Amino acid sequence: MVFSSPEFLFFFLPISLIAYFAVPQKHLKWRNLVLLLVSLVFYGWGEPVYVLLMVTTIVVDYIAGILLYRYENSPLKRKRVLVGAIVINLAILFFFKYYDFLIGNLRLIPGLSFLPLLELELPIGISFYTFQSLSYVIDVYRGDARMQKNIVSFGAYVTMFPQLIAGPIVRYATIDEELRDREHSVLLFTSGIRTFTAGLAKKILLADMAGALWGYFAAVPAGARTVLGAWMGIVFYAFQIYFDFSGYSDMAIGLGKMMGFGFLENFNYPYIARSITDFWRRWHISLSTWFREYVYIPLGGNRVGRFKLYRNLLAVWFLTGAWHGASWNYILWGLYYFALLVIEKTFLLKWLDKIPVFFRHLYSLFFILIGWLLFVSEDLSSGMLLLSNMFGANTVGFASGQNVYDLLRNLIFLAIMVIAATPYPKTLFYKLYEKKPLFRTLTAVGVMVLLVICTAYLVSSDFHPFLYFQF
């Protein structure tokens, strides 16, 4: 089940909210139970067998938290519990996500072709909820969060349907207090509706339309492409993945507000970045934060010599690429950003600070687009072919009449996406919302209109799952 589906919007969500708020505020633990149960139903809607896998993760990490508390005065035992929990969690993730990838590559070695491929189906959201649950164990081990005695509350944290499938990854330390005591109000609920609707509009009205255009350009045979067509295709993909993923994050944050949770923002207008370093402070913030807190800093962060700094960055970006999928193109994508960040840290950032902001934006967008090319390619050969097309090789020319027509026809749509990818609409909205009472009324009407428009598109168009579901 996905947020942008009629069954979620008009069946699951209303019933879940009614059940949740039917429990009095003073019985928060019972509200957590309702949240746990509806989240398990949400996850099991499409693949009920994998609910058992998630429950296993909950039980393992809940027991680990209990043991960490029990062995408070025994550092060695605490470390063993931590290592054990990490090994079990990552073993489950590795088996389902990377086993076939590893075996498939080993089978290429002479004499190893007998190794069996299991052709396992990847459980939806396993990378997200595994990292989220692990953050609890690590936070309790470090003393950054208290042990959660109530397995229902802990289970609600791991399975929380608003951000279960595609994030944001909520670190336990940031939500510990809200699991024990959180506020619910009409203002927070209506704010959640606005945020959710904005995310839904991003997905339905921007991401899906951009995705259709990316599909149109990508379908052009390699030998019939033009330079302009190749660039237009990857630009539309860049907008698709941004509005798709940030739209889901906004919907998750909005749903969290409705239930009293304050999830941290996952995107901060990444396409206005002035460097690749800046881009990764703005894109998928929860994943970057997770790797920084639980991999980069424990390895020594940047408070080490140059060699160890590069080693730490290599570890983080190899894992970041692998986290996105069991495929060489994702690993190459991670290593691509590792190389760019090393270059920036070594000398380029100092030079970038001296040039006009406009050229810093161009530099960033150029390398971000090349990165998306690596990310979206099904294999390295098709990726390299599209890259060569973008620079004039293996094409039928710079542009065709059809390209020019396609560009002009979609110019307004492109302009809308460019504006929507900047902070200006949000800044203007809040200025008007705070100063103009009439605008607040118009906002309520606008939200209802957006919901109607999105619903109309849902009913009349094909189903488009969120891109990050595959991770």
The secondary structure of 110-129 as a DSSP string is: TT-TTSPP--PPPPTTHHHH
Residue 419, burial from CB neighbour count under 10 angstroms (0-12, 13-18, 19+): exposed
Query: What is the phi/psi pair of residue 63, to 5°?
Result: -65, -40
For residue 264, what is the DSSP state?
A: P
Annotated catalytic residue within 27, 284, 324, 464:
324
Indicate the angle between helix axes 227-258 and 411-420, nearest 10 degrees.
40
At 392, is the secondary structure helix, strand, or coil? coil
User: Nearest 5 degrees, angle CA 403-CA 406-CA 407?
Assistant: 85
User: Is there a catalytic annotation at residue 324?
Assistant: yes
| CA–CA gap between residue 436 and residue 427 (Å, rounded) | 14
Indicate the angle between helix axes 227-258 and 401-409, nearest 10 degrees.
20
Residue 28 CB neighbours (<10 A): 18
Q: How far apart, in Å, are the Cα atoms of 187 and each of 110, 179, 184?
A: 65, 20, 9
Q: Which residues form the catalytic set?
A: 324
